[in-house]
Amino acid sequence: MKKQSGITITDIAKELKISVATVSRAFNNHPYVKPELKKQILEFAKTHGYQPSSLASGLRKGKTKTIGVIIPRNNRNFFSNIISSIEEVLTTAGYNTLICQSFESPEKEDSNITTLINSNVSGIIISHCLGKNSHKNIEEAINKGIKVIQFDRVFNAPQTSFVINDNKQGAKEVVLHLLKQGYKRIAFFYGSLTTNIFKERQLGYLEAHKEMGIKPDTSLFFKNTLTREEGYNTTKQIIDKNIKFDAIFSCGDYSALGAYLYIKERGLKIPEDIGIAGFADEPFTEFTTPSITSVNQNDKEMGRLVAEQLIREIENEKSTQIQITIPTIVKYRESTQRL
């Protein structure tokens, strides 16, 4: 099985009776190439359909024009939006986008990183899976000269730039809103406090209570309640157990949806009996009845910023690491308006 690899730099050199070095220089707009010669080379290349081999140049330079992106999963509105804008920015800047999903498995995430290192990517954009606690791999990547940037779910440990949402502020605003609507006992659905986003949202929850002079009841904190199913079941359990609560603030829209479904099924009224607020602003939250209050994370903007910053760090030796926090926007909807 042969591969007609197409015309190469050597072919051009031979044809034009010049050296490969000159041809190479012409393509890399190296300063010292006589303009006419350069023009001639470029023209020849164009008419003959020359395509540079990124493998060869990558091997030679020890660096490629490709970036790896690692996310928990692509079929979540938040992440697919992010990937979409990351890819757009990277392509425009001449980079390829290698995509990897960890499926919330630390082992998969590790092997993804290894794969990316072997592929000689020049940068890695990552949002960690839940339960990740080692960053040996990330450090290895950094040591090999790969620029790493984190977003959304980040660690402080390996020193990298990152882009996150103002989770605390978003959560605080929502919970404040709930409290002002007269809800007094707000259940908090989250993933795990080892992950920054949940920790920060919890802080927002607590701050809102403090600001309103209301003592939060930590027995209303429910861990590992992020999926639709978990939201449904947890809501069922707390109602069945007769635990007193009058609202739910969930760190994810899918579990908020699960709660919504169970509450309706049970014949209770939203927002009158129970208020519901989620996080992520998944498209469906706008169309349920009642529509569900949620926190928009400015996905596209986040993707753009993270990609741009990474490129900056790759192309600019003296660029410094930065931490960007993007404001969240609370979408106030019917599920929390009972006044």
Burial class (CB in 10 A: 0-12, 13-18, 19+), 143: exposed
Among 8, 74, 181, 233, the residue binding its own copies under the rule CB under 8 A is 74
Taking CB under 8 A as the rule, does residue 192 contact its own copies?
no
Per-residue contact string for residues 48-87; x = within reach of DNA by CB under 7 A: ----xx--xx-xxxx-------------------------
Q: Is 63 in the site for its own copies (CB under 8 A)?
A: yes
Q: Beta strand pairing status for 294-296 and 329-331?
A: antiparallel
Q: CA 109, CA 112: separation in Å to the nearest integer?
A: 5
Give the side-chain half-sphere CA count within 13 A for 306: 37
87 binds, among its own copies, DNA, none (CB under 5 to 8 A by kind): its own copies
- Piece in contact with its own copies (CB under 8 A), picked from 28-36, 63-71, 172-180, 190-198: 63-71
Q: Does 9 bind DNA (CB under 7 A)?
A: yes
Of the pair 140, 308, the CB lying nearest its own copies is at: 140
User: Per CB under 7 A, does 145 bind DNA?
Assistant: no
Tokens of 290: 């009642």
Span interacting with DNA, options 12-20, 140-148, 152-160, 289-297, rule CB under 7 A: 12-20
With contacts defined by CB under 8 A, name the span among 31-39, 40-48, 54-62, 182-190 that binds its own copies.
54-62
According to CB under 8 A, which residues from 102 to 121 bind its own copies? Answer: 103, 112, 114-115, 117-120
Residue 158: asked if its preceding bond is cis (omega within 30°), the reply is no
Among 45, 83, 220, 302, binds its own copies (CB under 8 A): 83
Q: How many residues bind its own copies (CB under 8 A)?
A: 58
Q: Does 14 bind DNA (CB under 7 A)?
A: no
Of 55 and 157, which CB lies nearer to its own copies in the complex structure?
55
Q: Does 47 contact its own copies by CB under 8 A?
A: no
Window 24 to 53, contacts with DNA (CB under 7 A): 24-25, 27-28, 32-35, 37-38, 52-53
Question: Rule CB under 8 A: is residue 96 a binding residue for its own copies?
Answer: yes
What are the beta bridge partners of residue 250?
Answer: 189
Q: What angle do CA 280, 265, 172 make, to 5 degrees?
A: 30
Choose the one of DNA, its own copies, none that binds residue 284, judging by a C-beta under 5 to 8 angstroms depending on kind. Answer: its own copies
Q: Name which of 59 and 268 has its Cβ closer to DNA.
A: 59
Determine if 283 is a binding residue for its own copies (CB under 8 A). Answer: yes
As a three-state string, the secondary structure of the chain is CCCCCCCCHHHHHHHHCCCHHHHHHHHCCCCCCCHHHHHHHHHHHHHCCCCCCHHHHHHHHCCCCEEEEEECCCCCHHHHHHHHHHHHHHHHCCCEEEEEECCCCHHHHHHHHHHHHHCCCCEEEECCCCCCCCCHHHHHHHHCCCEEEEECCCCCCCCCEEEEECHHHHHHHHHHHHHHCCCCCEEEECCCCCCHHHHHHHHHHHHHHHHHCCCCCHHHEECCCCCHHHHHHHHHHHHHCCCCCCEEEECCHHHHHHHHHHHHHCCCCCCCCCEEECCCCCHHHHCCCCCCEEEECCHHHHHHHHHHHHHHHHHCCCCCCCEEEECCEEECCHHHCCC
Choices 81-89, 125-133, 177-185, 214-222; region in contact with its own copies by CB under 8 A: 81-89
Residues that bind its own copies (CB under 8 A): 1-6, 49, 51-56, 58-59, 62-64, 66, 73-77, 80-81, 83-84, 87-88, 91, 96-101, 103, 112, 114-115, 117-120, 140, 143-145, 257, 282-284, 286-289, 317
Residues that bind DNA (CB under 7 A): 5, 8-10, 17-22, 24-25, 27-28, 32-35, 37-38, 52-53, 56-57, 59-62
